Structure 1
């Protein structure tokens, strides 16, 4: 549960402009830079905060109430870029109470136009030292007394920061870079050398999941030593900040086993540096809730808390220890279901086999938890039959062939354009095989030559179905529309490929990282083998895992989901921290993770409604992943001082109601505020629409330009079901151009769409200057979006409507 934010009231230095100033770009506040990026417990610090639209900042909202602040000055900053939006610098006096926990916390700035992007801020327990230039070489090295945390920045390309420290005795020191979780762009490299310039050690990335560096070194001799920080690619700039912690400090590298059964307590093995003889630590399975399966732990030692956090899993299943040898069929370790096996891929080319019983049509979930707990294991999982043969999952038969213009990365939901466009050949909900390797499903399908298709997904990452893995694809990669057939099917040869899919998986999808997941349906009674190895055949003591084999338990999780696409000008203030204009509307988009084959509808609503706010309810439809709620504020709605945002989703699963609160997997401070009136007024007429399969309908979007706003307005339609699309939409989307005040929009229904009634929302985006000039590169929440309020749309029944049989599947919704 999110903590109530700490409110830090700012003095009357907020500079209110006289009258209503002209608006050329988004009024949404955005923080670009905070210096220093951290502070020590029980101390005060002077912060510099820079960004846009911050001049009228009213307060800071911190996730920790033990942090308080006051603004001392507000100034303009010279802008080196050819932008007219001024950058504002705030000077803030920050006070940190002694009891504020060590770690990354965060804040947002509250202004009359909403709250800023979430800004991570570190709280430490050591002396804080600020880097002083010049310190680019050993002869200029900045002396530091240990232990300490250095706040540094690589301000220019090819910048190197060198620090000198003196040792009077043999000692083991750790050197820890903290940058990526502070939203820094640094890809750090640490280099340790002695007074003669000899390189003693270096590190680029400490793990495969972070660009941050770590070193531990045993110093045998007293003397002067140097530690250098640089960017791997020699980059530098305002957003290349870091924190370097150095000292004889405890650091934990691994827990084993890295988990505990829910409701119990156990001791596990501990590995690391400077642990003072500590070899065990207690894991508490009574912490967390049913929605939380991975918990952080800061290990306490005799010399204080560890520098770093480690993670452990809490689950509900009996724990079983791996027994070697179990790397071939004859020696596969027998287990019962359910079970969580705690093991290691102990050496290169090792694999671990586990034999379990199942009856025909049993649905078994098999999940790896490794990389999410800090293990280097990049798991590869497959199901074998009792003879050791891979078990068939399905046959996918191509029914149409095409290719994509442009390469695609491994997460993008945006599929760009088909190289050859034929109208009504590809439909929403169609299954598409990318490059004969990755099976996706269309959420939106290209409907004209300048349009593009979109894959189903959530949290900005597309979903790969039937155990396939999202991956990079080259320019002009082949794509095939496919039918999913039973695993024993033998489709006739017709020149288009047929591919057998087996029960095997590399990466489990959004939220799984490099961990594997399979949903296995037993084809007959018997025993089966879960076979696990490292994808690149690595191995060693650190390649630990927890492998859970359990009966499927359909469920879901709900997330605040910006879910923006590459071509949509970056994120806007919205789903994580909506600002609702007085007398008008804003929106919140939710994304669902569907677990163990659950494909039913999810009803979504605001769990608590602050005074003066109203909200629609919504439904994530069967086999879909998103819905958008409309929030509206009364004209006289009182100011909301960053009220916690609380949304709940409910579904009927196996005859019972299941409810989950929406979470943000990335940020810790989700709030809703009431803001000044919007930059534009937004209206849609008519407010009720009807459409037949194969037909169309029209409505007009009207805007009222205020405060001199004259630029274009980007438009997006939300809650459209598959098969409803905007006629003549281009890749750049739908918009009202500069100099215009309305847009007539035509909705078209595919002939195959089924009857449905839904609430459509029209969102109007006022872009920031950077988003307008650097489309696709503005990643902060600089733009603002306003909502139209709900428009009722009915797809009427039609005797001629039917579903395309080529899209029917046998269990295809099971990932």
Structure 2
């Protein structure tokens, strides 16, 4: 059983007593589209999620980026859709017939909701009216010639926007509430990944990846909410695909293209290449949304194919090594037009199948060696890859703390992909061939970290050390965690070749988005004095210069790492909320860990909590006093443990508990732990006062004196009318008329 699954079972009883505040539905976002933008631009994005009522703000990490809310489109019910149709019929009486036909065409597109400002005309809809439609036969028309009152036109735009998104049975209810936001990116904003969240009265949502890019961006129209597909009637759901879903787009490279894949869609992009041009075509999809709970294998699996002008395949990729996101490294054999196609591997699709594909002559690192160094040193590191001439690798500074850091190479303004680089405190050595057999074993002094390669198929690297009876030895391979394709196999044998211990894969709670725990780990007590050998190979008998590894052979170094989930916490003032803190125990550490907050703001405190010796997790309760800040603000959870004579302090990495393919759970790291103190009197929060609709409801009777509806039905209708009116979708006359039908006249 995995560390995380064990932890989930162990804390079930604790979670059952979570405070009422923590039990409130947490705001959730399942996708953001497009998932990035170019420096110096403002990007309008569409987000899908649930529990987003009252959303009022957008958070994005890093300098040079800010967000603002444009509108919130909550999921409507069928009765509300009927009310909107009736309201539209009333408004139609105030529009000339020819103008109504123009409006119907101009407001029927898939991108209506992206451009629907509350209180403003849709830019895209107005462009269709005044520029002759959106691929339609409708002629252009000046607004003053429409013969429509501006307020009526605005009302029609709002209603059509909401009706376009209506689906009785969405493919995923978890992404059926919609938010439109604007993200402003400064010209000097640092390129790379950011995290984006929404703010609601129930706190901050989970984060999603948002990229700041250097290149021009091209985005297809956003999808409408997908309808659930019924077996044997799948074609009915396809009617809500993009208007330009399978249309080929002509683009100019370098650029980044953005899209959402609908069911059965293939997106194509045509561009010119020059002979000898060395392109890196890099897709991001799983990187954007690591796990989808109700899809197998648990994420959008894009495939890339590159064709020449005659339709002959030039290159294909469905994943890059063990990364599901594909990469094509392509050198153009001639100057010509090429077509890039992207689709899901099994032609699935819906709104959260979001992708970004960058096409550029950027540097791309396929491997580095060594993949780490001792702290305090400045090692020489060799790079292999694409477009790396004159590239400079930016390594961690000599005073970098132990751990795994991300490094990249730069060539002018272009930056490569980021690759992991490990920093440790132990002495380092290098693999020296020949050392393929125990008779040729390379002698090492413990403790040591060996930097090596399984540099050809069926290769083994063997290292010999002197051991004592009863001594505990740890051997650990770090390869897959550093981006190596090595699927390691680790063996410990004595001087006669007898097997003492063996390991293929070792599951570790810090895996994040990895689903293959390919790195090996073993801990064993030596049976006698003498020489011992540690052998490293590849389980699949593969090998190359890129199959690098770092092998630690040492005594146990007891330690621990922490994860705190979820990555946001909502607390009502003078009450409490909670996060669950999970522990990954290392090298046999079994001690108790005392949890707390590091330098919390005034008014915020944590109740004492301990992860006991036999526990994989514990709950940390966070309380907000009367003087606590409203937020959002960042919290840092830390754990303290006594190991020998030293007190060790480790900070918990914020994380999201994510489900993969209906079953598996993963702790996906986040940048920060956002806290929010709920206060109805806080500035900027406009909460709907509670209304007793049951008390207001009067049940109308038919001509025979029998009630037409139940009181609950009338109360529900009153609530629907209030919501639609508050959203600006109903005129005051229509609103009063419908309330009067429910027996309410005030």
**Same-fold call, TM > 0.5?**
yes
- Aligned equivalents of 1:358, 1:584: Cα separation in 2: 57
Among 122, 146, 167, the residue aligned to 1:80: 167
Indicate if the aligned counterparts of 1:261 and 1:285 stay in contact, CA closer than 8 A. Answer: no
Among 542, 547, 551, the residue aligned to 1:547: 551
Show CA shifts across 1:343-394 (max 9, x none): 1112221111100112222222211111111111111111000111101xxx
Confirm or deny that 1:148 pairs with 2:259. no
Structure with bigger helix share is: 2
Confirm or deny that 1:671 pairs with 2:671. no
Equivalences for residues 269-668 of structure 1 within 5 A = 269-278=382-391, 281=393, 283-284=395-396, 286=398, 288-290=400-402, 293-302=403-412, 304-306=414-416, 308-391=417-500, 502-511=501-510, 513-561=517-565, 575-634=566-625, 636-664=626-654, 666-668=669-671
Between 1:280-289 and 1:525-534, the stretch displaced more is: 280-289
Give the 3 Å change call, closer, same or farther, for CA 85–174 of structure 1 in structure 2. closer
Any unmatched runs of 5+ in structure 2?
1-20, 76-164, 222-241, 291-298, 512-516, 655-667, 681-689, 694-746
- Aligned equivalents of 1:673, 1:298: Cα separation in 2: 35
Among 36, 51, 56, the residue aligned to 2:49: 51
- Equivalence for 2:334: 221
Q: CA deviation at 1:658?
A: 1.2
Indicate if the aligned counterparts of 1:262 and 1:285 stay in contact, CA closer than 8 A. Answer: no
Structure with bigger strand share is: 1
Q: CA deviation at 1:27?
A: 4.3
Q: CA deviation at 1:230?
A: 0.7
- Equivalence for 1:31: 29
Indicate if the aligned counterparts of 2:37 and 2:213 stay in contact, CA closer than 8 A. Answer: yes
Q: CA deviation at 1:65?
A: 3.3
- Equivalence for 1:92: 181
- Equivalence for 1:194: 308
- Equivalence for 1:567: none
- Equivalence for 2:351: 238
Indicate if the aligned counterparts of 2:393 and 2:408 stay in contact, CA closer than 8 A. Answer: no
With structure 1 as the length reference, what TM-score do the two structures score? 0.61
- Equivalence for 2:325: 212
Give the 3 Å change call, closer, same or farther, for CA 200–87 of structure 1 in structure 2. closer
Indicate if the aligned counterparts of 1:266 and 1:284 stay in contact, CA closer than 8 A. Answer: no
- Aligned equivalents of 2:692, 2:465: Cα separation in 1: 69
Give the 3 Å change call, closer, same or farther, for CA 370–86 of structure 1 in structure 2. closer
Indicate if the aligned counterparts of 2:606 and 2:622 stay in contact, CA closer than 8 A. Answer: yes
With structure 2 as the length reference, what TM-score do the two structures score? 0.67
| Secondary structure of 2:509's aligned partner | coil
Q: CA deviation at 1:588?
A: 1.6
Q: CA deviation at 1:303?
A: 5.7
Indicate if the aligned counterparts of 1:265 and 1:282 stay in contact, CA closer than 8 A. Answer: no
Indicate if the aligned counterparts of 1:260 and 1:284 stay in contact, CA closer than 8 A. Answer: no
Indicate if the aligned counterparts of 2:287 and 2:325 stay in contact, CA closer than 8 A. Answer: no
Q: Which has the larger radius of gyration?
A: 2
- Equivalence for 1:157: 263
Indicate if the aligned counterparts of 1:29 and 1:111 stay in contact, CA closer than 8 A. Answer: yes
Across the two proteins, how many residue pairs are aligned to each other?
Answer: 527
- Aligned equivalents of 1:86, 1:251: Cα separation in 2: 34
What is the root-mean-square deviation of aligned Cα atoms in Å?
2.6
Q: CA deviation at 1:100?
A: 2.8
- Aligned equivalents of 2:453, 2:47: Cα separation in 1: 46
Show CA shifts across 1:435-477 (max 9, x none): xxxxxxxxxxxxxxxxxxxxxxxxxxxxxxxxxxxxxxxxxxx
| Secondary structure of 2:481's aligned partner | helix
Show CA shifts across 1:606-651 (max 9, x none): 22333333321111111322111222334x4544212212112111
Show CA shifts across 1:726-781 (max 9, x none): xxxxxxxxxxxxxxxxxxxxxxxxxxxxxxxxxxxxxxxxxxxxxxxxxxxxxxxx
Q: CA deviation at 1:521?
A: 2.1
Indicate if the aligned counterparts of 1:113 and 1:676 stay in contact, CA closer than 8 A. Answer: no
